[in-house]
Each structure stands twice: as C-alpha cells, then as structure tokens.
Amino acid sequence: MSRTLRASVGMIYGFLLFAPLIVIYYSFSPTVLLEVPPTTLTLRWYGNLFEQSRLMNSIGASIVIAALATGVAITVGVPAAYALTRSRRTVLSSLFLSPLILPGIVLALGLLMAMSIAAPSLVGSMWPLIGAHVLVTLPWVIRTVSANLEIADPHLEDAARGLGASPMETFFLVTLPAIRPGIVTGAIFAFIVSFGNFALSLFFASGRITTLPVAIFEYIDQFQDPTVAAASSLVIFATTLLVVLATRAKKMELP
Amino acid sequence: MTTRARDALLLAPSGLIYLVLLVVPLLLLARTSLLPAGPNAPLEGPLSVGSYTALADSYYATILLRTLRIAALTTFFTLVLGYPLAIAVSRSRGGWRTVQLLLLVSPLFVSVVVRSYGWILLLGNRGLVNTLLVSTGIIDAPLQLIHREGSVVVALVEALLPFMTLSIVAVLDRLAADLEEAARGLGASPFQTFLHVTLPLSFPGALSGAVLVFMVSLGSYATPALVGGARIRVMVTEIYTQATGVFNWPLAASLSLTLLAVALVLATLSRRLAK
C-alpha cells in the first residue's frame, strides 16, 4: 500500500471515529465546558446518570424492547430467509428488506395512523414500540441469514433427504448448524439496531415509557452537561465489548 | 408437501408482520394524504389531492431541494472517502483486515443520536473547535459552525461512510487482483490503474452504495434535527413537525409520499443506469 493511501486511510478512520471518541472524552470532563487539554478527569457524570430516573428507566426499556424485537425477528425471520433464498423470491425479498432504506419517520407516521384508527388504546404503551422495532430489526435478520444461506451448500440438504432424514430433521440437523453464524450475527445486529434506533421510537415514546436514544435526545434539548455523554459512553463500551467478544469467539461474521 | 406450500408456511408469520406493520400503514398514509389538510385536521372527509397543492408553495420546494442537495453531497463525499478505505480493506489480510472491518462497522453500533451529539460537542458555539480557536486567539468570537447545511453533510458522511465502504469492498473482494497487477506491469501509473481498471470494475458496488447512502440520507431524522437545528429544515423534520406540532396529518402524509416517490424514482433510475 502506498504511503499516500495509508495516510489518507488513517485520516478517514480518524474522522469516522471522531464523534464517538469526543463523546467518551466529554463524559470524563470535570466541567460542563469542553476543555482541551483536560485539567482533571472525573466520574461524577456517571454518578449523576444514576440519579436521572428517565434516562435510567429508558436504558431498561431499551434492553427489554430490543430483546423482545430480536426474539420475534429471529423466530419469524429465519424461516422467511430460508424460503426467500431457496426459492429465489426477489420481489418479496425487496419488500422484506425495504424498511432498511425507507425513511423511519415515514414508516413510524404510517404505524401511528394505523394504530390510532385500529387500536387507540395501545397508544402510550410498550406494544407500538415493540412492533416498530420488529419492523426495523426483521430486515437485518433476513439479510444476514440469507447471506449465510447463499453460501451454505444446498446439496448437503439433498444428501440428508436422500439418506432418509425428514424435512424437519434436515433443517434442524443440517441447515441450522450451517447458518448458525448468520443467525448469531443477525441477532447481534438486530439487538444493536433496535437499541440505537431513534426515528421509529420518537412517535411512540410517551411520558411513561421511552427508549434511550429518545431520552438522550430530550436531555440534550433541555440540559447542557456531560450526563448523556456518560450514558452514551456506557452504551459504546457495552456494545464494543459484545462485538469484540463475539468476533473473537468466531461466533459472529463481519460483513 | 410442495415447495409452494412449504414457502407459504415459512413466509406466513413474517408476511403477516409486514402486512400489519408496513403495507397497511403505508396504504393508510396514502389515503390520509388525500384528506383535506389543515391544522388539527380530522382523519375523515372528501378525498382530493388538495394537500399536495401545498407542495407548490416555495417554502416546501426549498425544503425538498435542500433535502435532495444534502443527500447528493453526502453521497458524493462518501464515494470520495469510501474508495480509499475500501481499497485498503480489500488489500489487507488476516487480523489487520478484521481490525479494519471492526473499525468500519463499529460506528454503526453507536446510536445516530449519540454521534450527532458528538458533532454538536465539536462544532457548537461552545464546542471544541471554537474553544480552541478562541483560546489560541485566532478568532475573537465563536464561528457559526453548527446549524449549517455543511455541518449536516459532514455528520451524515460520518454516519453513512461505512455503508458505502462495505458496498465497494463487497465488489473489490471479488475482483481479480492480477488485473490491477497486469495494468501496472504494462506501465500504468497507480492513478491510471485506478481510473481505468479498478473504478470501472467496481462501479456496481459504488452504485449500490450510492443508492443506499442517498436513500438513508433522505430519511435520516436525528442528524438534521440535532446538527441542523431549526434553521436547516429537511423533509423528515418538516413531516415530524406537521404531524406532532400542528397535527396536520394530511399534509404530513402527502410530504411523506412525495419523499417516498422521489426516493423510489431515483432508485429505479440508478438501477436502469447500472444495466
């Protein structure tokens, strides 16, 4: 690799990581002003975070919503990915993947309208949030599992069937082990995408229940102190740990 | 059991979810867009295209143009920055490649709200850049860096660069390395090799990355809302205001459908271009 390419690549990686790094730096800042170089470092904003009940509750809600949405997405997404790849249903495929590129606010607005007509009593509860998050996580599961199915050898399934295995046995003993990395990757992506999603939560957050990104957004609007930087840094640390562990254990495949 | 019956069974649960959570809501959105517009407009009334005439207003034309301009600039800069990254990734092997892929994917794991917050900390009036410039005496008063179209583009480029890079990497990985070597062996400079060999062969990856980045920029809410503020209004922030601020759901719906139509037309055109 030439020196110019290496230097420019280094700078671009720096640019890419700058925004998260500055948030981490600010979370240790002794004052609400951003000082460079820092006089001291402090953990007081992490302490303050535990006193902010809306932020703390939103972390719990985000975990519950992300876990439920991921569970649903895996349960219905793996069979769908199987049918979509093995039968090459391209039109249906693009419909199923469309929430990846359609504007989240537009999807959320449609959902809100549908809900206010069909089930107004659900407004303000956790259900619309879970539904919205299933809609954004499902395409990620279908995409990663499909990618894995594309490279898994379909002849192995034929061989299993030829040797007398039932379709169920073939799926659970042959196909499933082959696509396990795709399922794990899909689940991790689904969880993280749901945990960080903002546009689809915004319409459905209420005074009673909200997700972490929405709570952070509201907090930034009202206060100017590093408490949300501390909350964000905790999330960054946790997800980095999760991804590094999963990659090291070779359980997860990077795209 | 036939393949068709098996597929129907496997697709039924997710199909139902898409029907209830995506298809029906979008149809409802289309119907709502045909209702009479106005603040606190009721969700009933005679159907007409009335709410779309508001789009002829120069206020909305400006917003639509700005949205498209921001998306186009974001796409352009992710292309320019994505190529060197993609080349570096596709040429590296083993652990170094894993590290680079992790670096690329890791921003996707940080909520876009958090990353926009990072840009506010950097570019705000009391942000890092202004603090440094004022304390070193280079300038007297803080520069207006935030709440500008340019800062929205910068933040979007940072957020979407990984998508572009991964799309190009996917194509470059399948491209035979000896083609580039042959070009070099025949006396082409590295730049000529890039221009005449690497670039044309990786065009499909760049194009699919461009479509993805363009569509996602059109639809991103958190970045323009936080980094752009009230001054830099784009389609999605306007949709949100119309829906939750003044409860003009018909107008919010027609703005939504306009945005969807623009996005779909552009995506279809670029797919034609790829053939």
Q: How confident is the model at residue A155 (pLDDT cuts 50, 70, 90)?
A: confident
* Domain assignment of residue A213, yes or no: yes
Average pLDDT over residues A184-202: 89
Domain count, chain A: 1
Answer whether B113's CB lies under 8 Å from A217's CB: yes
Phi, psi at B96, each rounded to 5°: -60, -40
The DSSP annotation for A173-239 comes to IIIHHHHHHHHHHHHHHHHHHHHH--HHHHTT--SS---HHHHHHHHHHH--STHHHHHHHHHHHHH
Quick check: B80 pLDDT over 70? Answer: yes
How many other C-beta atoms lie within 10 A of the C-beta of residue B267?
A: 14
Q: How confident is the model at residue B53 (pLDDT cuts 50, 70, 90)?
A: confident
Phi, psi at B40, each rounded to 5°: 55, 30
The per-residue pLDDT for range A40-56, each reduced to its tens digit, is: 888 899 998 888 888 89
Residue B157's nearest CA partner among A200, A12, A20 is A12
pLDDT of residue B49: 80
Entry field: residues in chain B: 275
Quick check: B274 pLDDT over 80? Answer: no
Average pLDDT over residues A142-171: 86
Q: Does B268 touch chain A (CB under 8 A)?
A: no
pLDDT of residue B161: 94
Enter the pTM of the model: 0.90
- Contacting residues of A for B112, CB less than 8 Å apart: 196, 198, 213
Interchain CB distance below 8 Å, B14 and A254: no
* Domain assignment of residue A82, yes or no: yes
Instruction: Give the one of B114, B222, B256 whose C-beta lies nearest to A23's C-beta.
Output: B114
pLDDT of residue A156: 86
Interchain CB distance below 8 Å, B215 and A101: yes
* Domain assignment of residue A15, yes or no: no
* Domain assignment of residue A241, yes or no: no
pLDDT of residue A5: 80
- Contacting residues of A for B22, CB less than 8 Å apart: 95, 98-99, 107, 110, 135
Interchain CB distance below 8 Å, A79 and B252: no
Q: Does B43 touch chain A (CB under 8 A)?
A: yes
Shortest distance, CA A192 to any CA of chain B (angstroms): 6
pLDDT of residue A251: 58
Quick check: A255 pLDDT over 60? Answer: no
pLDDT > 90: percent of chain A: 31
pLDDT of residue B109: 74
Shortest distance, CA A86 to any CA of chain B (angstroms): 9
Average pLDDT over residues A242-249: 76
**Where would I find the H helices in chain A?**
3-27, 44-49, 53-86, 90-97, 104-118, 127-151, 154-162, 167-170, 176-196, 199-202, 212-222, 227-248
CA atoms within 13 A on the CB side of A150: 8
* Domain assignment of residue A20, yes or no: no
CATH code, domain with A190: 1.10.3720.10
Answer whether A120's CB lies under 8 Å from B30's CB: no
pLDDT of residue B275: 65
Interchain CB distance below 8 Å, B1 and A167: yes
Quick check: A190 pLDDT over 60? Answer: yes
pLDDT of residue A73: 96
Average pLDDT over residues B220-232: 91
The per-residue pLDDT for range B98-111, each reduced to its tens digit, is: 888 888 887 777 88
Distance, in Å, from the CA atom of B55 to the CA atom of A31, rounded to the nearest integer, reads 46
| Mean pLDDT taken over chain B | 88
Range of the domain at A202: 56-223
pLDDT of residue B1: 66
Q: Which residue of A has its CA nearest to B26?
A: A110
Q: Which residue of B has its CA nearest to A246?
A: B102
Q: Helix or strand or coil: residue B100?
A: helix
* Domain assignment of residue A37, yes or no: no
- Contacting residues of A for B122, CB less than 8 Å apart: 18-19, 22
Q: Given the cut 0.95, state whether the ipTM is greater than it.
A: no
Q: Does A212 touch chain B (CB under 8 A)?
A: yes
Angle at CA of residue B155, ends B152 and B161, nearest 5°: 130
Ordered domains of chain B (ranges, CATH): 56-233 (1.10.3720.10)
Distance, in Å, from the CA atom of B107 to the CA atom of B90, rounded to the nearest integer, reads 19
pLDDT > 70: percent of chain B: 99
* Domain assignment of residue A22, yes or no: no
Q: Which residue of B has its CA nearest to A114?
A: B25
Answer whether A143's CB lies under 8 Å from A98's CB: no
pLDDT of residue A247: 74
- Amino acid (one-letter) located at B27: L
pLDDT of residue B39: 82
